[in-house]
Amino acid sequence: MIITLNVLNASPKLYLYLLPFENINDEKVIAWLGAGFIDMLTKELTTIDGLFLRNRGDLENIMNNRALLLKQPRDSRNILALGKFTRKMDKITVDMQFIDIANWDELDKREIIGSYNNVPQLNNELSEIVKTVCMPYLPIKRTTKKIYPDFTKPQASVIPKTFGERGAVITSSIDDAIAELEKSMDFVIGARGEPITNKTKNPVSEDEWVVDIDNRPFNEPLPENKNNTVLLNQVLDNLMDKPYEIYLNKPTYEYDKETDEDMITVSLQVDYGIKGNIMNDMLTSLPYSGLKQDGSLTIVHFDRENFNFDSEFQRNVSIGNYRAVPLIRFYDKDGVVMAIILDTPESRWYSLTSNKIHFVPLHQFSPLVDFTMGGWSLQVALEDVDIKANYKLKMSIEEVDRIGRVSLKFVPEAELGAIIFPFL
């Protein structure tokens, strides 16, 4: 009978139901935020007296059996917190809705906008908003006894003189025991989070604390980063091999009778630009750690926390094996090379000449993609601009009549010699 009265007279509680936040656009890269926000809120809110956290299973039980609300302490409140989030470039927008489960009235609605590059700050703002909304519904705190009494001069204990006084002491002891039992049960069901335990061990003596560390080699690949690394390699392969959209115009011919009656100036217009899907693939499929935009320039950072950068990859980036330059070749109707235009910043090619073909080294194209490998991260810079190059060379009338086709190919700088030297 005493236990029943204690439950009925227990302090009211605020039960907050937290469900994983909804990823509105279903972006796989940021899907982890759905559970991440809940983990953060759970950590921050478990310390609030009178607030008890509930999950999806608890909500389903209430929905299936509304009579469970009657078994809660009198004047308790049940609030459902619904969250959803979206990302646009670097900005994360979180919408929160708070609903009273008893009558399904909307109690409050909030919106938070933060940076994907600073999720901890976004978590702090979200936590403060939830605390602000819940505060008016928290039960009024009772006056609690101090753990230690105020210091007084030692006195002899007063023995209760009557049976009624002794009974009051016994009843108080039972109430305290039941309160401790409720507290233990709350820990078991997760209402008060995890019991506080010491994270350190003391295997030696009372004045020494030891934490065992499972050391892992610094550069050892993390198994959980395997899928991210595969995606990164696929995107980078496209960036390194075929990053450009090319529009190759038909050559035009300029004949100037006053300067040279036998020669014609051949003009070739080429438009270079970054493929539109390259940047979109990076930002929507890969977890980047940093993003900066300055006009047409976009810089994206990827770090070791999400990817495994093996030694071969780092070497290729460091020595520039991915760099390629445009190589334009004019063929006659029999498929024989008649002229080569090499668009390169390397000045060592400018002094070379050929007696077999027209060899013209120029520099009008500049790479629109650049990679920088640091000790901890990879930086990818992309410039979304159009380069309009106009290449010219002089040919005789007979040679112009023999032109069958023109090709443009990006060739790695390390492979240029094998292609060009046979014609020099």
183-222 pLDDT, tens digit each = 656 555 555 555 554 444 455 566 677 766 655 555 566 7
SS3 assignment, position 92: strand
Where the chain has pLDDT below 70, the residues are 1-10, 141-207, 211-221, 238-241, 258-261, 319-321, 375
Helix (H) or strand (E) holding 127: helix 119-134
Q: How far apart are CA 377 and CA 299, in angstroms?
A: 12
Q: How far apart are CA 398 and CA 234, in angstroms?
A: 47
Q: What angle do CA 57, 62, 64 make, to 5 degrees?
A: 95
Q: Which of 73, 78, 51, 68 is nearest to 6 (CA)?
A: 73
Q: Which of 140, 147, 137 is nearest to 15 (CA)?
A: 137
Q: Which fold has domain 2-137?
A: Rossmann fold (3.40.50)
Q: Which of 78, 59, 41 is nearest to 193 (CA)?
A: 41
* Helix ranges restricted to H, 190-260: 226-241
CATH 3.40.50.10070 in the chain is located at 2-137
Q: How far apart are CA 424 and CA 421, in angstroms?
A: 5
Q: Give every CB contact of residue 93 below 8 A, 6+ residues apart in sequence.
A: 85, 86, 87, 111, 112, 113
What dihedral angle (degrees, nearest 10) is formed by the CA atoms of 368, 115, 374, 231? -70
Q: Distance of alpha carbon 327 from its chain centroid, rounded?
A: 38
Structure tokens at 94: 């979180």
Mutual orientation of helices 32-45 and 119-134 as an angle, nearest 10°? 50
* Cα dihedral sign, 327-331-336-341: negative
Q: What is the pLDDT of residue 6?
A: 46
Under a CB-based contact definition with an 8 Å cutoff, are residues 382 and 273 in contact?
A: no
Assign residue 38 a region (left: φ > 0; alpha: ψ between -120 and 50; beta: otherwise). Answer: alpha
Q: What is the pLDDT of residue 2?
A: 40
Give pLDDT tens digits for 316-331: 777 666 778 899 999 9
Per DSSP, the residues of 353-390 read --SSSEEEEE-----SEEEEE-SSEEEEEEE---EEEE
Q: How far apart are CA 73 and CA 298, in angstroms?
A: 56
Tell if the pTM clears 0.75, that is, is over it.
Answer: no
Q: How far apart are CA 324 and CA 413, in angstroms?
A: 6
Q: How far apart are CA 199 and CA 2, in angstroms?
A: 39
Q: Which of 78, 83, 70 is nearest to 38 (CA)?
A: 83
Q: How far apart are CA 44 and CA 133, in angstroms?
A: 14
Q: What is the pLDDT of residue 198?
A: 46
Under a CB-based contact definition with an 8 Å cutoff, are residues 21 and 34 in contact?
A: yes
41 phi/psi in degrees, rounded to 5: -65, -40
Q: How far apart are CA 302 and CA 373, in angstroms?
A: 10
Q: How far apart are CA 95 and CA 82, in angstroms?
A: 8
DSSP E strand stretches across 229-357: 244-248, 252-255, 263-274, 290-294, 297-303, 324-332, 337-343
* Cα dihedral sign, 122-126-127-128: positive
From residue 87, alpha-carbon distances to 20, 25, 27, 28, 227 in Å are: 17, 8, 8, 11, 22
